Every structure is written in C-alpha cells, then in structure tokens.
Homo-oligomer: A and B are copies of this chain.
Amino acid sequence: MKALFTFFLSLLLSLNLAAQDHSHQSARPISFPNFGAYQTLSTDLHMHTVFSDGSVWDIRVQEALMDGLDAIAMTEHLEYQPHSADIPHPDRNRAYDLALAEAKDHELLIIRGSEITRGAPIGHNNAVFIEDANKMLKEKAEDAFREAKNQGAFIFWNHPAWTAQSSKGLPVLSDFQKERIKMGELHGIEVVNYGAYAEESLALALEQDLTILATSDVHGLIEWDYSNKGLQRPVTLVFAKEKSLAALNEALKAKRTVAAYNDLLIGRQEFLEPLILNSISIHNAHYMSGTEIVELTLKNECSSDLIFENKSAYTFHESSPVFVLKAHERKTFKVKTLQKMKSFELKLEALGAFYAPSKHPVLSWEVTVKE
C-alpha cells in the first residue's frame, strides 16, 4: 500500500519539482588549441560519486560542463563501497548510467570506468572504456586487470606517489606492475592526482613508456577542491583523431597526452612542444618607427598561465626576459633585432612545462615582420 502510495506521489510531484530551476554560472572553462591532425580533448578520467566514496549523486556532468571538458570517466571504486548499507545497488555501472542520462543533451562524452582498488603494492588503478564494471569484480587483482583488458580498456595506475601507500611520496614499481605492463594490462600512470604532481611518476612514465595523465580524483566538489581556491582542476589533454570514445581510447593508448594543472604542463616532448607552439599566436610584428626594434603582440590561446624565459638570439627592449602570459592574455613585446629583417626566430623556454624531470621545452616561432 505504501509503495503504491509513494509511487503515485512520485508521479504527481515529479512534474512539479522539475519546475524549480537550479541554474548556475561559471567562468572557468578549460581550453587548449588543436594542432596537426589532432583535436585536443580535455578529459578528467578519475572521479567519484555516492556509488563508491564520493559526496554527490549527480553533479559530475554539470561540473564538467562548467569546466568545458570534452570527456569524463566515471570511476567508482569497485571494491570499496562505504555507502553500501544505504546504497546496496549491485550494479557497478550505475554511476555511469546516471551520468550518461544526465549528459544526453550535451556534447560531453561519458566514459564507462571503474577503479580496481587494492592496498600496496598493487594500489589503485583505473580501467576506462570498459564494457561492464560488474565483470571486473574479482577477488584477485590480476583477474580484474585481465578482464578489463579483455573488455578493451585503457588502464592506468592512480596516484602512485600517494603517501598513504608510499610514505616517501615515491612511486615504487613492483613485480605486479611490471607484469601488468608486460601483459599489456597497464598503459598509463597519473603524474598529477588531485593537485599532487610527482616528478618521479613522470620519470617512471618515460622509463616504462606509459601514458602520462592528470586527474582530479574528485570526491567532494570541484568548487571546493579547486575553483574557490583560484585553481583549475587537473586534466589530461588527449590529442585524438576525432571527438569520439574510440578515438580517445586510441589516442590514450598511443600516449598522445599532456597532463595540465594550472600553469603546469607535463608531457612527451613530441606533444608538449606543438601544444605550446600552438598556444601562442603572434600578431602585428612591425619595426617601431626609426628603430631596429620589432614590436609584436603575443596572445596566450589556452586556459593555462604560461611562464616563459626569452632564449632568442635577440634581447627584449623593455620587458623582463622572464614573464608570465596569463590565460588568454595579450601582451606586447619589443625585440631588438639589431638590424631590419624580414623575419626572425623568437625562442622561448616554457618554464612551467616539463617533458622530463627538470627539462623545459624551448620553443621557436618564425616571426614575419610587416614591411
């Protein structure tokens, strides 16, 4: 009787309650330029809701839309279910299903994922682009990885430098990971997790030839973890052939990524360099009247602040050789070319970017000077 009564009420009220509009605004979209044959997709491949140990039911999609992301993966802990007394839902795909429904009128891609959750040395690992999370619920971690691989998943090691599993804050590669890598069951590694960058994780990614990732691992609110502090959420920029789940999976496995977290950009040199090259546009280069000094405007076309040091053969006329170009900012620079030239090479070291520990890329732009 009560059930029927409740059902009736639900029906009655659902229309009413839907009328209450809970809109919101934001000015924090993340965006980076495309380059070459690639679309640059902003993704966050690690997050939680009430369906494992997160604090929210259904706002991950709204958060991602506010942040201008292209794709998110729902990655509940498979085995860690602290809310199970209240939410005994047996289907480990539930968070994904809800997010998919919520995103139905948007361009945002929703990726089915799951977090295989163990203590050290196995640690936490995300499998994304899976087909069914339930089938991955295995007693032995090895079996879970194998199942994920069989489902076509891209699998990565989460926060390998997490102090709860490594008191020195260092990633420790065990036989388990070595075996997974060998078996093609571990493809990537988080070098940034919830704001924490580990240089040693980057070194390991390069050494083991793993995909470089940054994720938010958000449990509470993006607002509280990042926006309210003036920070942007960590994202993995993926250079994909198109905006599709298949293309994303392909690109991730092909290691075409840059991890981005505020002014910090980390990636393989071959992707980091064109990303930054294309993040700067150069405008209106011309000789200042009566001088051998070129005036030009640099515009930062991406949503990260970029820190540069001039490494050109030519010095600047006014600005400091070290400068910050904020997200989407335009700044005018003057370059002493010593003689009038039709074009010259502007060379900047990107101090906030790393292609290896302590290694900054140095970028070159050929600047054409107006007659």
**A binding-site residues for B, Cβ under 8 Å:** 1-2, 5-6, 9-10, 12-17, 19-20, 22-26, 50, 53-59, 62, 77, 79-84, 86-89, 94, 117-119, 137, 139, 161-165, 167-170, 194-200, 217, 219-221, 223-225, 228-229, 261-264, 288, 290-293, 307, 309, 315-322, 324, 334, 336, 338, 351-352, 354, 357-358
Q: How far is the CA of A315 from the CA of B357 in the complex (A)?
A: 10
Q: List 15 A-B contacts (CB under 8 A).
A: A5-B139, A6-B79, A19-B163, A20-B217, A22-B224, A25-B229, A56-B56, A56-B57, A86-B87, A163-B290, A163-B293, A167-B291, A167-B292, A223-B228, A321-B354
Give the distance to chain B from A1, nearest Cβ to Cβ, in Å: 8
Question: Bound complex: CA of A16 vs CA of B55, how far in Å?
Answer: 17
- Tell me whether A137 and B2 are in contact (CB under 8 A): yes
B83/A264 in contact, CB under 8 A = no
Q: Is the CB of B26 within 8 A of A228?
A: yes
Using CB atoms, name the residue of chain B closest to A318.
B196
Pair A5/B79 contact, Cβ less than 8 Å:
yes
What is the distance, in angstroms, from A225's C-beta to the closest C-beta of chain B? 6
- B residues near A164, Cβ cutoff 8 Å: 15-17, 19-20
Beyond A5-B139, A20-B217, A163-B317, list 7 extra A-B contacts (CB 8 Å): A9-B80, A10-B84, A13-B119, A57-B57, A167-B291, A264-B322, A309-B351
State how many angstroms separate the Cβ of A123 from the closest Cβ of chain B.
10
Note all chain B residues with C-beta closer than 8 A to A15: 164
Docked pose: A220 CA to B57 CA in angstroms:
10
Instruction: State how many angstroms separate the Cβ of A143 from the closest Cβ of chain B.
Output: 12
| 6 A-B pairs closest in CB distance | A24-B224, A16-B164, A196-B318, A264-B320, A9-B79, A19-B164
